[in-house]
Amino acid sequence: IMIKRGNVNARNDEVSLRSGDGMISIKGETGTVDVAGSSLGGSVQSNGGVASQGIGGSASMMSGSSSVDGSGNVILASSDSYKSSGDIKLLTGDTTIGRSGSVQMSAGSSLSNEGQGGHLQLSAGSGSTAGSVSISSGLGSTGSTSVLGASQVEVLTVGSGKEGDKSGSIDILTG
């Protein structure tokens, strides 16, 4: 289905599709696409195609590039809430007989001698009970968890920030 309104080169052109309170809006020259659930907290879902034979369709999301400045950001976030904010889950599907999919997170590299590679930071939230960070390999006859650093690897604990509190312990165990 193609829906078009006005001259595609014109400024302030907008195409909107609505169902109840939910909407999809595609706006003019800036290339903005807004997808919103309803005011009742409706969901927004995007799926690749289902295949009865062969490989199912892919779903992708990528920021725009620039030939003279930085590329756009991709932000995946749940909103703030009074009671509890939503989870973000990056999952691959299970498989019956083959290899299940992998999850890869990597920051970009600089292609010049003067640039700096991107950072990858994993951190849990603060609170009266702080969140946890767990990294583990799956259960099986083989598998490993590795921590590597080109120039430095740090494993440390910090206190709660209250005077007199001790920091946690570091345990290194083998099975």
Instruction: Tell me the average pLDDT of the chain.
Output: 77
Question: Does pTM surpass 0.75?
Answer: no
Q: Which residues contact 93 (CB under 8 A, 6 or more apart)?
A: 100, 101
**pLDDT at 19 (0 to 100):** 63
Q: Which tens digits make up the pLDDT trace of 89-133?
A: 888 888 898 888 888 888 888 888 888 888 888 888 888 888 888
**pLDDT at 165 (0 to 100):** 73
Q: Which tens digits make up the pLDDT trace of 6-16?
A: 544 444 566 66
Q: Is the dihedral of CA 37, 42, 45, 50 positive or negative?
A: negative
Please, which pLDDT band fits residue 48 given cuts at 50, 70 and 90? confident
